[in-house]
Chains A and B, each alone.
Chain A
Amino acid sequence: MTNIIDVKNISYSYGKTEALKNISCKIEAGDFVGLVGPNGGGKTTFAKILLGLLPFDYGNITIADQEITTFNNFQKIGYLPQKHTGINPIFPACVEEVVLLGLLSNKKYQKKIKGADWQKVEDILENLGIKNLKGKMLSELSGGQQQKVLLARALISNPKILILDEPSTALDPNSREQFFTILKDLNNQKKTTIILITHDTGYIGKYANKLLYIDRKLVFFGKIKDFCPSGEVESCFEKSDKHIIWHQHN
């Protein structure tokens, strides 16, 4: 397997507060990585660094054989942000307009939208079973529906890497199961590399093949079975809080 993301000794500080120190990991194409850690442990910061939203202080990152500082294959990365609750309630954006924004990464100036682009929007909405929401205003939808729309936006460019920041928080148990099944199918069928930030360790045990555990420093990176040979991932996390495992799998 080839490394699609190669992170070497990344450090990042918010002012004088060190948020991440010497994080290294090599994520292979097709990995499903559960990114975990305590609140304030640097999970979202790490994801934002991978997305090019935060400039790191030290280290080096390569994504799809391209240095992150010069990275311009934006269509290769899909992103589902955490703050879907921050959607402006008066913004008059309907579902198809929002999903279309995911295609802008494929376009240079001037970003002309063609009939084929709208067809892609239709297709992805149909694949996710939300075609009926096409003309609805995003802010009028339920949390679960909004999450699916934003997932459609992340997937429409057919990304090689999908980064999701706590996507299941607004979902009821049924929608959550459905959501993770969609992710697993993507991972299995399209070999999409998935990096999933979550506190839901049960789902990590069920769906992810690797674990990236960050608490400002790297606590663990490697296969789930190396972190938790018993397969009882939730109980392994309870233990690891008391006996932090220092292990790096490259």
Chain B
Amino acid sequence: MIDIIQILQYSFIQKAFISGSFVAITCSSLGLFLVLRKMSLIGDGLSHVSFGAIALGLFFGLYPLYVAIPVVILSSILILKISEKARIYGDAAIGIVSAVGIASGIILASVSRGFNVDLFSYLFGNILAISNNEAILSIILSLIVLLVIYFFYWDLFSATFDEEYAKTTGIKTNFINTLLTILTAITVVLSIKIVGIMLVSALLILPAVTALQISKKFKTTLFLGGIISLISVILGITVSYILDLPPGATIVMLNAIFFALALTYKKITKN
């Protein structure tokens, strides 16, 4: 108990808690829409793109996340356009763009020969090492994403539940789809500092699928996913600090435990 009170006094822990909480809620909110649209892997694909974008930033000596945000947003739109225009399924479009992202990162890392250590630090993230600017950026961008979800909540719900019907009620579903993809791109970049490129999609998928095991109402599922995500980030940071474990991986493992518990609960209550 003393340990926990003590660690709360460290400013880097406070920063990690605050920025982590915002990103956690953003990820779970967006993740629910992605999971229900069978677009769970877009987070994985875009995180691979961010690997290339971060390498690009390091290559030109620019702040990597500032480069990653526009590049990943453009790539997310590219995924949408490829699947529309080339008439291929979304997962194939994600595969194409993500492979190009990884390949670009590897080539840039190989050509530069100087920033491999920096680049690989983004693969696993470390929320405990988040800077003031990064914390502020993640809070502002999280707030923007959450506000957009709040503003377009019913449009997103309707277009996710039945896109064709949503169109008949005047909802601009193409706009909503593009909006959701752009929000995902921003959220993926935000999550890199917390869990790293390798584990970003877990932060998007796991809280949502955990909440889906328990709740029967959309709004409740959305809130429940947020709470699960928040607890896993706060608990993950604390546990990782106390046990000297990598925070990103700890957060993901806690999410996986919550998912297993929710599955068990569902099975018990069903019987």
Contact = CB atoms under 8 A, between A and B. Distances in A.
A and B associate in one complex: yes
Interface of A: 51-53, 72, 74, 77, 79, 81, 88, 90-94, 97-98, 101-102, 104-105, 107, 109-111, 113, 135-137, 140, 153
A52 B155 CA distance: 18
Contacts of A81: 162, 164-165
Interface string B24-51: 0000000000001000000000000000
Given A79-B168, A104-B154, A105-B170, A97 B218 contact: yes
- The main secondary structure of chain A at its interface with chain B is loop
- The main secondary structure of chain B at its interface with chain A is helix
Given A74-B168, A92-B218, A137-B216, A109 B151 contact: yes
B267 interface: no
A90 B212 contact: yes
Contacts of A77: 168
B216 A92 contact: yes
* Closest A-B pairs by Cβ, 5 of them: A105-B169, A74-B170, A111-B154, A137-B216, A92-B221
Contacts of A72: 170
B171 A104 contact: yes
Interface string B13-31: 0000000000000000000
A114 B260 CA distance: 37
B168 A52 contact: yes
Which range contains the number of B residues in contact with the other chain? 20 to 34
Contacts, number: 79
A91 B217 CA distance: 9
Contacts of B219: 97
From B152, B154, B158, name the one whose CB has the most chain A CB atoms within 10 angstroms.
B154
Interface string B132-171: 0000000000000000000111110110111011111111
A63 to B, nearest CB: 12
Given A90-B36, A104-B158, A97 B165 contact: no
A232 B14 CA distance: 79
A111 B170 contact: no
A81 to B, nearest CB: 6
B220 interface: yes
Contacts of B160: 91
Contacts of B168: 51-53, 74, 77, 79, 105
A97 B36 contact: no
B30 to A, nearest CB: 16
B169 A74 contact: yes
16 contacts: A81-B162, A81-B164, A81-B165, A91-B36, A91-B161, A92-B216, A92-B217, A93-B157, A93-B217, A94-B216, A104-B154, A104-B166, A104-B171, A111-B154, A136-B216, A153-B165
